[in-house]
Amino acid sequence: MAERDLYAELGLKRGASKEEIKKAYRKLARELHPDRNPNNPKAEERFKKVAYANDVLSDDRKRSLYEEFGEVGLREGFDADAMRAMRQRGRPVGGPGFGFEEIFNPGMGGRGGRRSGFGSTLEDLFGGGIDELFGRGGFAGRPGGVPGAATAKAPDQESEIEVGFSEALGGVEKELTIREAARERTIRVRIPAGVTDGGKVRLRGQGAHAPGLEPGDLVLTIKVGEHPLFRREGDDLHLTLPVTVGEAWKGTSIKLPTPYGEVSLKIPPRVQSDSKLRLKGRGVPKRDGTKGDLYVRVSIRLPTTHDHASVDHAVSELEKLYGEDVRAGLKL
């Protein structure tokens, strides 16, 4: 069957990696996009072919079917196992006694109200002569490829959007202005609660538009701002809590801010610096509706008074009370 080489459409050889396919497609899509080539039918035709090739080769399942069977393997209802069985029996496609219903699943809604999706002649299958199957002016050379194959899409667009730390935790709706050639459009974007820095949100059909193609998608990379108090690790938040020497020794209760309101945190007596206290369910929202935890790290602070003599005396008295070597475990 004479049909296109989809790898050649992208300027690649068989066996090209996904990254090579993505890079080649993006380069060609930018060069051939209708916005850059107004009133240029040849560029538009080439753009569609490149988009179709990328649509097939960037999808593992479609790529596998194409490499094994060619474009016919992409047609809706194609039965790969039936085709393999025919090959094993040495029966060529289109040979004597061959019916296309043998390699396509029936019941796909054929022409003229027939119950089966396909007849046993090429005219029934393609609505034309045998030339349509073998590429002499038929679908093998058309931008849409094999009838029933997935519709080619215009290129996806990528952009960034910034959200505040608290907005990322609780979710937020933002307005985003998209610039396309000489026009602008504004869309509203819902950022889900708990989104991470560098996370992506895909907006279906909001990407590039091109004649004869489905709109591409808009892929947004989220940039989350930093917070002066909280630090995020996965689904958990971390906060450093300064306490005095007296609070650490005696214990106390401290009003503590969290993203979900103020709470009272009990500091146990004799707490050591760098000890971690956990507030369950005060962290980052998860997809299952629960939240991570908030970990509070105790940081004992010395006084900053200018009355150094009084502090020196108090520290000297305190020093006498150490009955152990605080660095005893600091060994390799």
Strands 263-267 and 172-180: unpaired
* pTM summary value: 0.54
Higher pLDDT, 176 or 270: 270
pLDDT score of 294 more than 70: yes
- pLDDT band at 292; cut points 50, 70, 90: very high
Between CA 73 and CA 149 the distance in angstroms is 9
Strand order in 218-224's β-sheet?
Answer: 157-163, 218-224, 200-203
Tell me which amino acid residue 74 is: L
Between CA 296 and CA 298 the distance in angstroms is 6
Strands 236-243 and 294-300: parallel
Tell me which amino acid residue 5 is: D
Alpha helices by DSSP H, the chain: 6-9, 18-32, 41-57, 60-69, 80-88, 122-126, 165-170, 245-250, 308-319
pLDDT score of 137 more than 50: no
- pLDDT band at 90; cut points 50, 70, 90: low
Alpha helices by DSSP H, 121-251: 122-126, 165-170, 245-250
Residue 189, strand partner residues: 174
- pLDDT band at 300; cut points 50, 70, 90: very high
Share of the chain above pLDDT 70, in %: 77
pLDDT of 182: 66
pLDDT tens-digit readout, 30-79: 888 877 888 888 888 888 888 889 989 988 888 888 888 888 777 766 77
pLDDT of 230: 96
pLDDT of 297: 97
- pLDDT band at 3; cut points 50, 70, 90: low
- pLDDT band at 152; cut points 50, 70, 90: confident
pLDDT of 128: 35
Instruction: Round the CA-based radius of gyration of the chain to a whole number and report it.
Output: 33
pLDDT tens-digit readout, 186-217: 888 999 999 999 998 988 888 877 777 888 88
Q: What are phi and psi of 270, to 5 degrees?
A: 65, 25
Q: CB–CB of 274/299 below 8 Å?
A: yes
Higher pLDDT, 183 or 25: 25
- pLDDT band at 102; cut points 50, 70, 90: very low
Between CA 241 and CA 209 the distance in angstroms is 52
Assigned token pair, 29: 């899509």
Give per-residue burial for 99-111: e unless 16+ CB within 10 Å, then b.
Answer: ebbbbbeeeeebe
pLDDT score of 134 more than 70: no
- Which one of 66-70, 91-95, 120-124 scores highest in mean pLDDT? 66-70
pLDDT tens-digit readout, 210-262: 777 888 888 999 999 999 999 999 999 999 999 999 999 999 999 999 999 99
Between CA 166 and CA 146 the distance in angstroms is 49
pLDDT score of 107 more than 50: no
pLDDT of 283: 94
Q: Domains, the chain, ranges and CATH? A: 6-141 (1.10.287.110), 157-224 (2.60.260.20), 230-318 (2.60.260.20)
- Arithmetic mean of pLDDT, 137-160: 56
Task: Look at residues 194, 224, 229, 190 and name the one whose alpha carbon lies nearest to residue 206.
Answer: 190
pLDDT of 67: 87
